[in-house]
Structure 1
Amino acid sequence: MSKKNSTPDFVALVQRYAELGSGPKAELRRAAKPDDLQLVPAFYRLLPGIHTDAKWRRVVFFLPFVRHADNDLRLGQALKQAGISEMRLFQVLRSTKPNDLIQLRRLAQQAEPAMHWQRLGESLFYWNEAQKRRLVEDYFTPIP
């Protein structure tokens, strides 16, 4: 990916995901929660030589459901654009681990967003309460 202590290259991860066959992609898609990926061989093939901790599981959990695009769209904006209701977004905000990510992935499945994976990957990799707040702030930020 990248040098130690620097931000990983999530766009390269998306490219490696695109090169997987349909079987491995289906294995990743079927994971019901991020920790389920620990039992999926495709997860380890996608991240060779990388310590696959919870940060990576969060990122890979979303790979099958968000396309890469060269744009400035943020996830909150994409959810708003797709017509996701405020109520559903705030359910994500109020949920705790791992339900917050499970619910957020459901919203992504419904919205089918296309966005720049470097930005999205960083949000998921460093997922915390501040990232949740940023998601909501982006939802209410008009798209230029």
Structure 2
Amino acid sequence: MELPSDAKALYENWLQLDPGSKAKIRRATQPDDLMDIPAFYLLVAPFGWPQQRYALLRMVFCLSAGKIRPSEDKQQSIGRVFADKGISQPRIFQVIRADYPNDMVQLRRLIIHAEPEVYWPGFAQQLYGWYKSDRRKLLEDFVITTAHKTSRKDAK
């Protein structure tokens, strides 16, 4: 799977799924649960399954929250959106410190709560590897945005 164009195609394929298939995928409580759902394989087959297995599991699990709206603003990172939506810092720490699959479960809960408008190819790139650096980027964007918001309030 090459990003970001494939990320956009994955998002479009998600939108094209019938409501019943989306509902089955949405019921997954952990990323690995997706592998028991036939509609999941139909969704990810064109994007490098099984070579990109873990990346696709993470991306579809987050997409299945059903709350992500795409933004064309490349600065709209998930960390920035969480800060703008008032997500607390301890909840962000929960995500970045948790091990798989709890990290994805916590991230999905935040997505459901925040209903983010995010630059999907950028977020998909983070989920693609979900390395320590990707988690740090989420924290960095969150903290910098929070600090920037606080300094703007203090200036008023």
Q: Tell me the TM-score normalised to structure 2 length.
A: 0.83
Aligned to 2:56: 56
Letter in 1 for 2:69: R
The 8 Å contact of residues 35 and 54 in structure 1, kept in 2 or not, is answered as no
Which of 114, 129, 132 lines up with 1:129 in the alignment?
132
Q: Tell me the TM-score normalised to structure 1 length.
A: 0.90
Matches of 2:55 and 2:64, distance apart in 1: 16
> Could you say which structure has the higher helix fraction?
2
Segments of 5+ residues of structure 2 without an aligned counterpart are: 150-156
Higher gyration radius (CA):
2
Matches of 2:130 and 2:78, distance apart in 1: 13
Which of 32, 35, 51 lines up with 1:35 in the alignment?
32
The 8 Å contact of residues 29 and 64 in structure 1, kept in 2 or not, is answered as yes
2:65 is aligned with 1:69: no
Segments of 5+ residues of structure 1 without an aligned counterpart are: none
Matches of 1:64 and 1:35, distance apart in 2: 13
When the two structures are aligned, how many residues end up with a matched partner? Answer: 140
Matches of 1:7 and 1:21, distance apart in 2: 25
- 2:86 alignment partner, SS class: coil
> Which 4+ runs in 1 deviate beyond 3 A?
none
